[in-house]
Amino acid sequence: MKFQDNTFIVTGGASGLGEATVRELHGAGARVVIADLNAERGEALASELNENGSGERAAFQRTDVTREDDAQAAVDLAVSHFGGLQGLINCAGIGDPAKVLGRQGPQPLATFSRVVQINLIGTFNMIRLATAAMAEGEPQADGERGVIVNTASVAAYDGQIGQAGYAASKGGIVSMTLPVARELARHGIRVMTIAPGLFMTPLMETLPEEVQQSLAESIPFPHRLGRPDEFARLACQIVDNAMMNGETIRLDGALRMAPR
Ligand SMILES: NC(=O)c1ccc[n+]([C@@H]2O[C@H](COP(=O)([O-])OP(=O)(O)OC[C@H]3O[C@@H](n4cnc5c(N)ncnc54)[C@H](O)[C@@H]3O)[C@@H](O)[C@H]2O)c1
């Protein structure tokens, strides 16, 4: 899928991996809808990109990915403002560590539900509505109408203690990648997932220096945290390479997380 004249929604696009992906897509010539809860950061990013003199190719839509009306509004903005939708990059997500049985007793069910609701159900909500708009588009090279890139985590495979909900939500994303890719093939829509290891995002920057250091040391090579632009470049390589479909790619410097 080419970037020029095509439109991509990036959920979670106001921060971290999503923000880097917005910048990479925009830099490659794409139109981008930033769909995020954080209006202040999302609007500022859209304005910054639009001010750089290459026409108005960025827009912000305040979106809670778990809400049907919000997700539809982001898709509608892509169609009404930019004339169609060809890509969806799902980056919105939260991590909410909690033990099954903690000091205060059993984990509140609402904690588990919330992380699954945002990470897994939010991702599916965006996929189902974006797909409807993509399927309406004109086929491009190879008959391609759209591409979807989801964000899981290495926790889908080696989740740590306290990550039951997070690992389940990300495992769900990995598991639905192939069946959704198989179904959407007839519309010319590809579906891929990236499972990142440890990346330096605002979330990580809040941790003390020594914790960041010890996390970095657990990564075999390169011996450092990933940079958001490295995630963004893989997302764009997936967009660019039509043979990538129905698979999850670990992006983790060979990290295999320990139990704790
Ligand atoms: N940073 C890492 O090391 C790492 C590792 C593995 C996986 N991931 C995954 O990558 C994704 C991005 O993480 P990040 O580190 O960039 O985090 P981040 O906190 O910097 O960015 C996440 C963005 O998602 C938005 N968001 C949260 N809930 C939302 C909702 N309901 N609707 C819409 N937007 C919502 C936030 O406002 C924020 O802008 C997440 O899915 C995370 O689980 C991150």
CB of residue 202 inside a 6 A radius of ligand 1: yes
The question of whether 157 is a catalytic residue gets the answer: no
Q: Give the residue among 160, 156, 158, 163 at the shortest CA–CA distance from 260.
A: 160
- In the chain the first and final C-alpha atoms are separated, in Å, by 40
- 138 C-alpha to ligand 1 centroid (Å): 31
- How does pLDDT run across 76-120, given as a tens digit for each residue? 999 999 999 999 999 999 998 999 999 999 999 999 999 999 999
E strands, 53-137, in order: 58-62, 87-90, 101-102, 105-106
Predicted local distance difference test score (pLDDT) of residue 245: 99
β-pair partners for 226: 199
CB of residue 95 inside a 6 A radius of ligand 1: yes
Total-model pTM: 0.98
Atom of ligand 1 nearest to the CA of 118: 31
Predicted local distance difference test score (pLDDT) of residue 205: 83
User: Of these residues, 166, 169, 188, 239, which one is catalytic?
Assistant: 166
What is the set of domains in the chain, with CATH numbers? 7-251 (3.40.50.720)
CB of residue 123 inside a 6 A radius of ligand 1: no
Q: How far apart are CA 174 and CA 227, in angstroms?
A: 22
**Spatial contact of 195 and 250, defined as CB atoms under 8 Å apart:** yes
Task: Specify the residue with its C-alpha closest to ligand 1, atom 40.
Answer: 93
CB of residue 36 inside a 6 A radius of ligand 1: yes
- 139 C-alpha to ligand 1 centroid (Å): 31
Give the confidence band of 198 by pLDDT, cuts at 50, 70, 90.
very high
- C-alpha 252, offset from chain centre: 16
Question: What's the mean per-residue pLDDT of the chain?
Answer: 97
Q: How far apart are CA 171 and CA 3, in angstroms?
A: 29
